[in-house]
Amino acid sequence: MPPDSTSVPWPVAEGYQLSVDGRTRTVEGAWVGESLLYVLRERLGLPGAKNACEQGECGSCSVLLDGVVVCACCVLGADAAGAEVTTVEGLTATGSAKDIQEALVAGGGVQCGFCTPGFLAAITDLLARSPEADELEVREALSGNLCRCTGYGRILEAVSAVQAERRGAGVPGGLRAPGDEDGPR
């Protein structure tokens, strides 16, 4: 089908551009079925998001898509064009998750560390939209991230340590997720 009069030309392009951690990255020669996780890891050299189940169950591939946590294995790379993708590499480089990283390390919330990048994304999302989340809300927010080592207790403790520290430091929070005009989720 030639890309003629229609406003949705087929085919759209040889490749596409992604905005990852504030940088524009070009993806070329990819198959349309490649997941964002695959594209990040295998094409863009960003192995922070981990590949474990490829079925949305474990959360180890969690990234932020326009500031909202999703499983990168359940997003098509080509459909992430135009969105802002934030990986654990980005969170680390900007230092925005530094206190979370430190609290996880200090409290024994990191053992083998495989799950940690996913937890960083999920905790970042949680504390951005609900800085004062209580334990139930924290548990709920982290229910999509599996950890085979810690038993979760130390991860939960790390979250409350970060909350206490941010409260003490007067860090303003309460960012809302895009499109969530009804109020906090």
Q: Which residue has the tokens 């050299």?
A: 45
* Contact between 88 and 120 (Cβ < 8 Å): yes
Is residue 68 part of the contact set for ligand FAD (CB under 6 A)?
no
Build a one-symbol-per-residue string for 48-67: x at contacts with ligand FAD by CB under 6 A, - elsewhere. Answer: -------xxx----------
Q: Which residues bind to ligand FES, rule: CB under 6 A?
A: 51-54, 56-61, 71, 73, 110-115, 147-150
**Least distance (Å) from ligand FES to the CB of residue 15?**
24
Site string for ligand FAD, 72-91 (x = CB under 6 A): --x-----------------
If we measure between CA atoms, which residue out of 135, 144, 185 comes closest to residue 164? 135
* CA neighbor of 26 nearest in space, from 46, 49, 44, 45: 44
Q: Which residues of the chain form contacts with another protein (CB under 8 A)?
A: 1, 6-16, 30-33, 35, 54-57, 59, 62, 65, 68-71, 73-76, 78-79, 81-82, 122, 125, 140-141, 143-145, 177, 179-183, 185
